[in-house]
Amino acid sequence: MQESSTLNLKRRQLLKLSGTLAGGVALAGLSRSSLADAMPGSPVFTAPTAANPIRINFNENPLGMSPKAQAAARDAVVKANRYAKDEIIALRSKLASQYQVPESAILLTAGSSEGIRAAVEAYATLDTQLVIPALTYGDGEHFAKIAGMKITKVPMLDGWQFDIEGLKRAVAEYGGPSLVYLVNPNNPTATITPADLIEPWIASQPADTMFIVDEAYAEFVNDARFRSVGPMIKQGAGNVILLKTFSKIFAMAGMRVGYAVAQPAVIARLANRVAGEKINFCGVDAALASLEDQAFITYSKKSNDTSRQILLQALNALNLRCLPSEGNFAFFQLGVPLAQFQQQMKQAGILVGRAFPPADGWCRISFGTPQEMTFVAKTLHEFRSKGWV
């Protein structure tokens, strides 16, 4: 009886907090005018159904593209019978200015996946190994297998952290070239690897080693220990490729616009592995508009921070272990089989992430809107009362 009363108290406390957070504006520090500028006409939350579920399974941005980016994409349809040659040059130029590198240090790609493939293929030889942490985003391994590369997986540390010293040993003890793929923040864990662990390794310039650093989620990070490798490239580092995408903070996952940043000689090598910068007109113009829409970037970040707080508060109240999240998703340990949890959440109108071996018993949940995460938090508490989580 006492346990039931405690659970009910926790539920009331959580829902009270979630109701406050769901408003989002005050917590995020956004004025009503800036919110209106960022997302005018935002849809009103309605309870999900099986036919219209809350989709928090693919690390997508639930806000949709900024209105300015949407308008730019619509306008691009009218001129899409032409190639976006001038616009591609403009986008490359704007990104080069952002990173303070020559335009020849930028390669536009169809999302970051094309950049991963191009980087792997550009450095794949019969004796090159791909060195990766045991739990990370799978595209690097996928393309390395297609290229016939040797793949060396390094076990994770406690808390599913990268073992940088173990990764170093895997490179140092190998007799041939190495390609090191690091995702920071990592997917599916949402944790960061501090720059003080990565930068010295890159700066030491291990022989015959190229680093691919995938920073798809960097714009969501709050931890000051994180730093992009972009400044290292600006300062002349020739052994690192930075991969970026417009899919996450800018909510352009379906538009497939990404880019690589590296020294011009490295970019030229990658360019031989793509079909030219053949980015679609709508995507290019949306990307250009997104880079200029600071109100939306700020709102997108603050909305994500709010949704993160709602979910983490719920997981903490339920005593479910969750890794420190620095992305637009969280990775937490379940007390029930993942497949069972996925099915029950689906029946409740919520889609959650797939299995990520070797992290058996863990679940990845992407962040929806604050209103959606309030519903998710409420559902998790209802599941606890039924013994489902």
Closest CA to 250 of 204, 212, 216: 216
- Given this model, what pLDDT does residue 277 score? 79
Same domain, residue pair 123 and 235: yes
Cβ-based neighbours of 186, under 8 Å, separated by 6 or more: 133, 135, 136, 137, 160, 162, 192, 193
Q: What gap in Å lies between CA 97 and CA 301, rounded to an integer?
A: 22
For the stretch 245-289, pLDDT in tens is: 999 999 999 999 999 999 999 999 999 999 877 889 999 999 999
Identify the H or E element spanning 389. Answer: none
- Domain termination residue (choose one: 259, 291, 323): 291
Mean pLDDT, rounded, for 180-190 = 98
User: What CATH number does the domain containing 173 carry?
Assistant: 3.40.640.10
Assign 52 a pLDDT band (cuts: 50, 70, 90): very high
57 inside domain: no
Residue 14, domain member (yes or no): no
Examine the fold and report which residue of 291, 318, 342 is the final residue of a domain before the chain moves on: 291
Q: Can you say how many angstroms the Cα of residue 170 is from the centroid of all Cα atoms in its chain?
A: 26
What would the pLDDT profile of 1-36 be if each residue is shown by its tens digit?
444 444 444 445 444 444 444 444 344 444 444 445
In this prediction the pTM is 0.89
- pLDDT attached to residue 21: 41
Q: Tell me how many domains the chain contains.
A: 2
